[in-house]
Amino acid sequence: MKKYILIIFAFFLSLTSFSQEEKVAFKGGEWLRYKMSYSGFLRAGSAILEVEETDLNGKKVFHTKGSGWTSGMIKWFFKVDDVYESYFDKDDIKPYVFKRNIDEGGYKKNRVTNFNYNSNSAYIQDFISQKDTTVAFSNVQDMLSSFYYLRNQDVKNMKKGDEIAIDMFMDSQVYPFKLRFLGKEVLKTKFGKVNSLIFRPLVQSGRIFKAQESVTIWITDDANKIPIKMKADLAVGSLRAELEAYKGLANDFKKS
């Protein structure tokens, strides 16, 4: 299961939520906490997503942070301590700075990426390899800004099978990323019954995932459009994430 949490957490941070009816989908102070479980019963860890308003080089921006860590029995076999941060424009959500500092069972990355829109180039500082690189880009989102960028997309008229595509900048490369709309479902949760939208990312099969379409995400069908559940079929077992606490939402959390 080595590296599986890194890959799924990356998906989880970047695949979620959408706004509608011109309402603001998120605001500073939003905080979401998720329970991660392995094979449906064994708690694997936790993940937190939070956003706040701040200043960056004299510009008002949103600063978002995603943290993930293992706990319980899983931690005995595979310790994870991941932190992702993004600073992006409050209006068009273009990323300015992205930070990634992860430690997964000794597999480590510590990188800071600065996006320069005058030269359309990203400057990546790698503090593990002590090597800096510059990469050209065009119209990309980082792993966290994509989460909030997608919340501004209109999905009211999407039909089953429709797809949304973005380009994601990760590890000094640009990756094409697609979400396929599967339909709607009334989901039973700890908060009660919640109307949800179901999406599936198109992922590459291999040693981690069973097949190309093995990850499913449920998103609240309201103005907040927050991820409420995720399930991923792994090569061995499955991983599930479920919303267990929230605060600071921009809109009411509607239930059925």
The pLDDT score that the predictor gives to residue 113 is 97
The pLDDT score that the predictor gives to residue 211 is 45
Q: 126: number of CA atoms within 13 Å, CB side?
A: 12
Q: Identify the band that residue 220 occupies on the pLDDT scale cut at 50, 70 and 90.
A: very high
The pLDDT score that the predictor gives to residue 14 is 47
Residue 122 has pLDDT above 90, yes or no: yes
The pLDDT score that the predictor gives to residue 208 is 42
238: Cα separation from own chain's centroid: 18
4-247 CATH pick, 2.60.40, 3.40.50, 2.40.360, 1.10.3470: 2.40.360
The pLDDT score that the predictor gives to residue 96 is 98
Q: Identify the band that residue 84 occupies on the pLDDT scale cut at 50, 70 and 90.
A: very high
The pLDDT score that the predictor gives to residue 2 is 45
**Beta strands 215-220; 227-233: pairing state:** antiparallel
DSSP 19-51: --TT-----TT-EEEEEEEETTTEEEEEEEEEE
Q: For residues 197 and 218, is the Cβ–Cβ distance under 8 A?
A: yes
Burial of 241 (0-12, 13-18, 19+ CB in 10 A): buried
**Beta strands 121-126; 107-116: pairing state:** antiparallel
Burial of 9 (0-12, 13-18, 19+ CB in 10 A): buried
Local structure of residue 141 (DSSP, 8 states) = B
The pLDDT score that the predictor gives to residue 159 is 93
Q: Identify the band that residue 21 occupies on the pLDDT scale cut at 50, 70 and 90.
A: very low
What is the rounded average pLDDT of the residues 109-129? 96
The pLDDT score that the predictor gives to residue 4 is 47
Structure-block tokens of residue 74: 């899983």
The pLDDT score that the predictor gives to residue 10 is 53
Between 16 and 90, name the one with better pLDDT: 90
Residue 49 has pLDDT above 60, yes or no: yes
The pLDDT score that the predictor gives to residue 131 is 93
The pLDDT score that the predictor gives to residue 20 is 36
The pLDDT score that the predictor gives to residue 244 is 96
Residue 87 has pLDDT above 90, yes or no: yes
Burial of 175 (0-12, 13-18, 19+ CB in 10 A): middle
Q: Identify the band that residue 23 occupies on the pLDDT scale cut at 50, 70 and 90.
A: low
Tell me the CA distances in angstroms from 156 to 135, 136, 161, 179, 202, one per residue in order.
Answer: 36, 34, 14, 15, 21
Going from N- to C-terminal start, the domains of the chain cover 4-247
What confidence tens digit (pLDDT) does each residue in 147-172 have?
888 777 777 888 999 988 888 898 88
Where residue 247 falls (left for φ over 0; alpha for ψ -120 to 50; beta otherwise) is beta
What confidence tens digit (pLDDT) does each residue in 169-206 have?
988 888 888 888 999 999 999 999 999 999 988 754 44
What confidence tens digit (pLDDT) does each residue in 5-19 have?
445 555 555 444 333
Structure-block tokens of residue 121: 């180039």
